Amino acid sequence: MTDLRDARISRAQFFRMMGGLAVAAAATACSTNPQSGGTTATGASGAAAVDLKFVGVADQKAPMDALLAAYKQAKAGVSIAASYAPTDQVQTSLRTQLGAGNAPDLHVVYPGSGSAMSMTEIAKAGLLADLSAQAWTQTIPTGFKPAFQQDGKTFMYSAGSSVIGAIYNKKVFQEAGIDAPPTTWTEFLGVCEKLKKAGKVPIALGAQTPWVTQLINYALVPSTVYAKDPTFDDKQSAGQTSFAQSGWRDAMEMYLELQKRGYFNDKPNGTTFEQQTSMVATGKAAMAIQVSAVLPAFRDAATSPDDLSMFPLPGSDDAATVWIPAGVVVGLGASAKGKHAEEAKAFIDFLGKQENINTWAKAVAAIPLTQDASSTIDPAVESFLPFTKDRAVPFMDQRWPNAEVQPTHFAVVQELLSGKSTIDEALKKMDEAYAK
Amino acid sequence: MTLTTQPPVETPPAVRARRARRAASFSPSWWFAVPALLVYAGVVLYPSIVGVFYAFTDWSGIGEGKSFVGLANFRAILGDEQVMGSLGNTLLLTVAILVVQNGVGLLLALGVHAKLKSRTLLRVIFFSPVVVSPVMVAFLWKYVYTPDPSAGLNGLLGLDIDWLGDPSVALWSIAGMVVWQYAGYSMVIFLAGLEGVPKELHEAAMIDGAGTLQRFRYVTWPLLAPALTINLMLSTIGGLKLFDQVFAATNGGPGYATETLSTVLYKQAFVYGKFGYSTAIALVLALFVAAVSLVQIYYLRSREVAQ
């Protein structure tokens, strides 16, 4: 028997083999579903059907699942294929698609400016469809307009706002003998001390996950900066003030005071968001300073979800000057360059109906953008409602001029927590990033 | 020991002709490479060359707006603390990986080259991490490196170290997981080199009274030179462009402690939206890797010849 390794083939045999391979490869390539690219085909009903593509961030899956099902009922002939990815990956893949000119018909957009996928950045590049003609855009509250609008035109949809505060485990609080959430900074420190004495980690901090690092500053800065000067953003933008000259310094000192007093878990820089979540959900830690949009994740991890609630983190010793951060929830926009821009805009118009705003807001524990009798507000965020009228400011990054300030903030907080840097150095780096 | 030289045996003409025919049928013309070269040119060369153009612009990565900025991006690199810091991290990581990965790889190769009963099984086990995606390895090691003193590596060694969260440790933790993954790769290349060392030389050395260490020093080591060249070059290139493991394990943090050139250029492009500047960093990195590799190959090849 001829050993396979010694077998020889003639030139003709070789060409036949290669030809066969080529045909097989071509057949495979051609069999790719031609509808996946968002083309028009004929639907079952006989009317022209449209396939739209949506690329979103993982947090949007729950509300979109519900609303896509509703849209299918409302509008036969349009089908929307949705895919989701974590924030970092979405930024990479979507920016590449936008740069290459093959953006999906609908995609995630971050409110305001201050990130590479923010409304301002993409709208300036002319890649977002103008939604200003839609009825819901007329009811955007004035304070939120900078998050949705660029040069007076609306380019993004969002169902409402979320708040940053303390997500806490009521049972752990009760066991430590704490009856009511604190309303001033001193009271807050007292609560932490009680929890620590009761053998609990007062505050779980997962600072290895970059975006988690910023939340304590975001929760404090409304009281230490904006309560004293609501026009801080404008002044900073005009170069009249800076991070280093403002209450940002106080906020960072308060942040580090919590660490110095031993109120965080051990090694926050080595702890992730997931570990932080499970610490609070299982009662090992009493609270975490977090954004309300992740409440569903905390509830999923908890054995009794009703134990979890939220309270505003008091960043001041005078309860009347405590302000809170309330930012527009991550939204979506329609591609201006897509073949089906009109159909994509029609879907956003559908999302803008009050009942759909309610559905979306409920799924992410947000405060609906506009409210009617059927709007529900998650009981966990009810304690924030008295603040939303005139003692709330958007998340800080939504007014920052470039995408570099926020990652710099993440990095300097990690450096501060590891003791490798000082508050002066941290603020200097942030000011430098702001000036770029 | 006596060496005998025999006069070469004359090959019969018929056999020679058959061999020549066989050789001709097995050396395809150069144009057989054309399809592959075309694909390579279209997918790798062309985009890379076009990409160079962006290094001289301020393009944001999206939209049409861009203007030519000359050498401004390259001048900015020199003054950029983040890039310079990451260059230092990258070099430290590369040297650590280079030394430890090849040291461990060589020891493993020597171990599984010995006449052990289970050596095939051991080879498979040591090589297996190589086939896992680097991102998966990083996620797995995040568990190994948990800061909890009663679990993971801490629990095993009875330590209390914040492997990925302490800026003075994190870089070495990343080097550790890279070595864990790729030591098996170095092992395979060294093993191929070891298999190529003629038995006769070892026998001759043994007869001359050389011990195990001496045989390694004077017989094995010099003959491993080609394997060493390849291993050093591959681990240098791998170290200089390290991205996946860092990105998945620490994303460059805590602070900027584990930022490498690759993570910085990724962030410049996709997080900060500075595509032009990022391309300039990428270009510098590519030239840097090429220069280091050339110097390395020149030096190591001359060493191979000398030995």
- Answer yes or no: is B22 within a domain: no
Say whether B272 and A10 touch across the interface (CB within 8 A). Answer: no
Distance CA A257, CA A250 (A): 10
Nearest residue on chain B to A405, alpha-carbon basis? B272
Count of domains for chain B: 1
Domain boundaries, given as residue ranges, for chain A: 43-159+329-372, 162-327+382-435
One pLDDT digit (tens) per residue for chain A, 436 residues: 444 444 555 666 656 766 666 666 655 554 444 344 344 444 444 455 889 999 999 889 999 999 999 998 888 888 999 999 887 788 888 988 888 888 999 999 999 988 888 999 899 889 999 999 999 999 898 878 889 999 999 999 999 999 999 999 999 999 999 999 999 999 999 999 999 999 999 999 999 988 899 999 999 999 999 999 999 999 999 999 999 999 999 999 999 999 999 999 999 999 999 999 999 999 999 999 999 988 988 999 998 899 999 999 999 999 999 999 999 999 999 999 888 999 999 999 999 999 999 999 999 989 999 888 888 899 999 999 888 878 889 899 988 998 899 999 999 999 999 998 999 999 999 999 999 8
- Answer yes or no: is B34 within a domain: no
- Answer yes or no: is B108 within a domain: yes
DSSP string, A222-259: IIIIITT-TTHHHHHHTTS--STTSTHHHHHHHHHHHH
CATH number reported for the structural domain that contains residue B180 in this entry = 1.10.3720.10
What kind of fold does domain A43-159+329-372 have according to CATH?
A: D-Maltodextrin-Binding Protein; domain 2 (3.40.190)
Chain B touched by A6 (CB under 8 Å)? no
Identity of the residue numbered B122: L
Say whether A99 and B166 touch across the interface (CB within 8 A). Answer: no
Nearest residue on chain B to A433, alpha-carbon basis? B272
- Answer yes or no: is B76 within a domain: yes
Please report residues of A whose CB lies closer than 8 A to that of B25.
Answer: 8, 10-11
- Answer yes or no: is B38 within a domain: no
Distance CA B280, CA B77 (A): 8
As a whole number of Å, the CA-based R_g of chain B is: 25
Distance CA B210, CA B214 (A): 6
- Answer yes or no: is B115 within a domain: yes
Identity of the residue numbered A130: D
Give A170: exposed, middle or buried? Use CB within 10 Å, 0-12, 13-18, 19+. Answer: middle
- Answer yes or no: is B96 within a domain: yes
Shortest Cα–Cα distance, A159 to chain B (Å): 25
- Answer yes or no: is B29 within a domain: no
Say whether B63 and A272 touch across the interface (CB within 8 A). Answer: no
Please report residues of B whose CB lies closer than 8 A to that of A404.
Answer: 272
Q: Which CATH superfamily hosts domain A162-327+382-435?
A: Periplasmic binding protein-like II (3.40.190.10)
Say whether B254 and A208 touch across the interface (CB within 8 A). Answer: yes
Q: Which residue has the tokens 């009794």?
A: A304
Chain A touched by B62 (CB under 8 Å)? yes
Please report residues of A whose CB lies closer than 8 A to that of B24.
Answer: none
Its domain, for residue B158, covers: 55-306
Determine which of B86, B243, B272 to mutate to test the interface with A (most A C-beta atoms within 10 Å). B272
Interface of A with B in 331-390 (CB under 8 A): none
Distance CA B282, CA B303 (A): 31
